[in-house]
Structure 1
Amino acid sequence: MLGRLTPEAATPDATVLLQTRAVRAFGDGLVSVVLAAYLTMVGLSATEIGIVIAATLLGSAALTLYVGLRANTYRRQRLLRLMSLLMVATGIGFAVFVDFWPLALVGLIGTLNPSGGDVSAFLPTEQAVLPSTVPDSQRTALFARYGLVGILIAALGAGLAGIPEAAAGPLGISEATALRSVFVVYAVLGGIVFFRYRRLSNNIERSDGAPPTALGPSRRTVYRLAALFSLDSFGGGFTITAILVLWLQLRFELSLALTGAVFFWAGLLAAGSQLLAPRIARRIGLIRTMAFTHLPANAFLISAAFVPTAALAVGCLLARAALSQMDVPARSSYVMAVVTPDERPAAASITSVPRSLAATLPPIAAGWMLSQTSFGWPLIAGGIIKIIYDLLLLAQFRHLRPPEEAPASPTTDSGAP
């Protein structure tokens, strides 16, 4: 079925990567919902749970960065299979251990992702391989489908996360045992991914004779992009879903059920909008797509803080959701286009990891703001920071174009402004 999602000229390797993305996304969505409840049931305190979750985030970021920088010293298919075996071991570790320190250690060195999104060690290698499976003209379309599959299947996994707990009573087992089965499923999914990776062809491997360097001529471009993407993520940290849910409850006293419905539809709008990104990019270019769709999205975000009614606030948030994720496939496609093929794994990790780390502190500040007043100061702060990012991105990179927009332009820093 996923083969139909790939662009027309895509190779079979693209289908395999969409399939592995879907399998991993299902596991990520499942465990992101179950993890905290499971750790509570096995006896961990709130502080210990926070440490385990922090360990999974930091460990995932460090492993992603390491894989990206070292990817050129391994065959890509072999590296992906090794990561899938680590996914199996991670699921088994969480299913077997119940004490704090072993769980924290497994979280630190494993592949578990409590955010539900794709911030994992698989990311730099898969994103580096994807551009080689389609012509340049279809690269953004493939990244859009890659993102769409991840969002929708992760949502499905999250939606099914309540089944084990509901089944505990009829099956006559404890809730902790039922939730433990989720990590067994996670391990099984790792095994499925392992065998799907074996279907990848040798075409995904690094070109013969290319120097095994992480970053070469595009180093400056990658670092500048990473800095800008981190600024965007820092702004986004003020408006993560948990903060927006809290704001809606404090400001308008929305019920949890109604708030959940709002973000369900917001997720669908965000997922569907990614399919529009390639069409817009073909008309105005990747950088303009990233900036020109983000700017109105952030205007809607700031507007939500000022409107007087819940209906208007929800309308602003839904309008923002319909626009705010169009930059995701454009961003991934752009990064892969403006570096050399052998720099792609490092570029993917270096532009992803700082973004994850930059989003860790703003929720603390946003929570403090909302403890002082129910007015939407976090929305304003996040929106302004993200608008600054949009303008800086447009100013600094509008002249550095990918091959399909300017075939004669170089793919190194020589084309940067």
Structure 2
Amino acid sequence: MFAFGGASLIMALFFATLGFSDRQLGLFMTMTLAGDTVLSFALTFIADSIGRRRVFVGAGLLMAVSGLVFIYFENFWILLLAAVVGVISATGSDFGPFRAIEESVLSHLTNPETRPDVLSWYIVTSNLGSAAGIEVAGRVVEALKNRDGWSERLVYHAIFAVYVVMGVVNMGFAFFMTDNCEIAKPAPSMDDGTQAAQGLLSESDEEIEGEMAPASTAPPVPQKKSLFSGISATTRSVMYKLWFLLTVDSLADGMASYTLTNYYLDRKFHLPKSQLGDYMSANYILGGISSVFAGPLARHLGLVNTMVFTHLPSSVAVLLFPAPQGIVLTVILLLIRGGLNNMDQAPRAALIAAVVKPVERTAVMGITNALRTLASTIGPSITGALADTDRFWVAYVAAGALRVAYDIGLWVLFVNMKLHSHEEGGSGSSRSSRVNDEEDTVEMDPVKREEEEHAR
């Protein structure tokens, strides 16, 4: 997030320096988010099978390669290709393959009692990383611009060099993760081996009988598996509603992302990059501080109430953001938005973990992340087109209205939903939760159960 924060501060300014139009900026951000959607959607479905640590290593490598391209090339289409195929945060948000798998790992390592707090601190550290990245990037840009021999383009290339280093650091951290972050694969037991042997014997008997009998039976037709076949119908019925609401919210976030907000403030007030970095850094720091209270609030108010009551004032701040003509009121609205905007993230991840089984979490969170990113892809193009016609402010009004609609819909549809039905008593240890999940997914043979009870 240190790297994502620094890139979000300079991305739009870098493109303006290269002479790209606002429409090209919108197209770039849209296509980048589209690439993140495909990448995260694909990786989260295979992360549990190939190993979550390997996915993190690969994502860090893609991050480093993308940063190298931004250092050495200035052609729009080459940069666009690197952003689509690789990992570049064009909006400052944590889209791509990282977040969904990280939230799945943390949900796997926690139980319902500790999960909201752990996820809250995860958001806190993310925000502090973004704040540090933005602050450092703003200071470095202003300092290097005043030195002889440093053009504005060269300064921005230096920021992307830091992006490369952070990608390599991510790869290193992934190697230090333990086996606890992976989904444990149960080892085959003696009973499984006996059943397998009996299955082979029965198959061989059937083959012998098949040779003596006329071959009139047609081979079974293989059935196509749905992409959602690994997710239960109960989970899907809940997630369809949540996915719809999250796409509305993400469309709004894409229209008024922090990268575009940096560009809007720069165009409206012509601020020094260090001052712009200070404002955005304070924005992320406030978001980190407020996220500390998301866990305690979730325990007292409930997950859904915490999400709605903290996100709604932030949405109103987005709606009113273009109204002030002075920098002071504009920054106050910015800080209200940023200070409250992230308090719903940890409860949201905890809500998803509370309504799905552990074996479904990585896939569900991957789909959630992909749909949110896909919805966000539309927003930058809309804002870019509005900015080209001097109607930049319309994007914030529309985004604020969409966010308010999301908050109201979330409260109406989910406030009375029963949570943790797959975990013992809605709480308890992680071990009891895993036992319940295994009992839900693996049914014992009635004959075998009767023999074991008789033996006991």
How does the TM-score come out when normalised to structure 1? 0.76
Which secondary structure does the structure 2 equivalent of 1:137 belong to?
Answer: coil
Which is worse superposed, 117-126 or 127-136?
Answer: 127-136
Unaligned runs of 5+ in 2: 188-226, 427-432, 441-456
Residue 152 (structure 2) pairs with residue 137 (structure 1): no
Rounded to whole Å, the distance in 1 between the matches of 2:71 and 2:387 is 38
State which of 171, 188, 192 in structure 1 corresponds to 2:165. 188
How does the TM-score come out when normalised to structure 2? 0.70
State which of 195, 204, 225 in structure 1 corresponds to 2:242. 225
Unaligned runs of 5+ in 1: 1-24
Q: Who is 1:122 aligned against?
A: 98
CA contact (8 A) 2:64 2:163 kept: yes
Offset from partner CA, 1:36-73 (integer Å, 9 cap, x none): 455566x5643665554443222122111111222233
Task: State the Cα RMSD in Å.
Answer: 4.0
* Structure-2 change in CA distance of 1:389 and 1:34 (3 Å): closer
Rounded to whole Å, the distance in 2 between the matches of 1:394 and 1:293 is 12
Which is worse superposed, 117-126 or 352-361?
Answer: 352-361
Aligned counterparts, 1:50-61, within 5 A: 51-61=27-37
State which of 169, 180, 185 in structure 2 corresponds to 1:208. 185
Rounded to whole Å, the distance in 2 between the matches of 1:246 and 1:34 is 9
Q: Who is 1:16 aligned against?
A: none
Bigger Rg over Cα: 2
State which of 157, 161, 165 in structure 1 corresponds to 2:137. 161
Matched letter for residue 326 of structure 1: M
Residue 352 (structure 2) pairs with residue 335 (structure 1): yes
- How much does 1:34 deviate? 3.4
Residue 123 (structure 2) pairs with residue 147 (structure 1): yes
Matched letter for residue 144 of structure 1: S
* Structure-2 change in CA distance of 1:38 and 1:387 (3 Å): closer
- How much does 1:202 deviate? 1.0
- How much does 1:396 deviate? 2.2
Which secondary structure does the structure 1 equivalent of 2:420 belong to?
Answer: coil
Q: Who is 2:47 aligned against?
A: 71
Which secondary structure does the structure 1 equivalent of 2:93 belong to?
Answer: coil
Offset from partner CA, 1:75-115 (integer Å, 9 cap, x none): 11122212222222222333334444433322221011121
Rounded to whole Å, the distance in 1 between the matches of 2:329 and 2:13 is 34
CA contact (8 A) 1:214 1:342 kept: no
Offset from partner CA, 1:328-357 (integer Å, 9 cap, x none): 111122113322222222222221232233
Rounded to whole Å, the distance in 1 between the matches of 2:259 and 2:174 is 35
Aligned counterparts, 1:288-307, within 5 A: 288-299=305-316
Higher relative contact order (CA 8 A, sep 6+): 2
Q: Who is 1:27 aligned against?
A: 3
* Structure-2 change in CA distance of 1:82 and 1:385 (3 Å): closer
Offset from partner CA, 1:165-207 (integer Å, 9 cap, x none): 7436647455544433333332222222112111111111113
Figure out how many residues of one structure are paired with residues of the other and give that number. 384
Rounded to whole Å, the distance in 2 between the matches of 1:305 and 1:181 is 32
CA contact (8 A) 1:44 1:100 kept: no
Rounded to whole Å, the distance in 1 between the matches of 2:4 and 2:361 is 24
Aligned counterparts, 1:2-401, within 5 A: 25-38=1-14, 45-46=20-21, 51-162=27-138, 163=140, 166-167=143-144, 170=147, 172=149, 175-209=152-186, 215-217=230-232, 218-237=235-254, 239-241=256-258, 256=271, 264-299=281-316, 315=332, 318-362=335-379, 368=386, 381-401=398-418
* Structure-2 change in CA distance of 1:287 and 1:317 (3 Å): same
CA contact (8 A) 1:91 1:184 kept: yes
Q: Who is 1:20 aligned against?
A: none
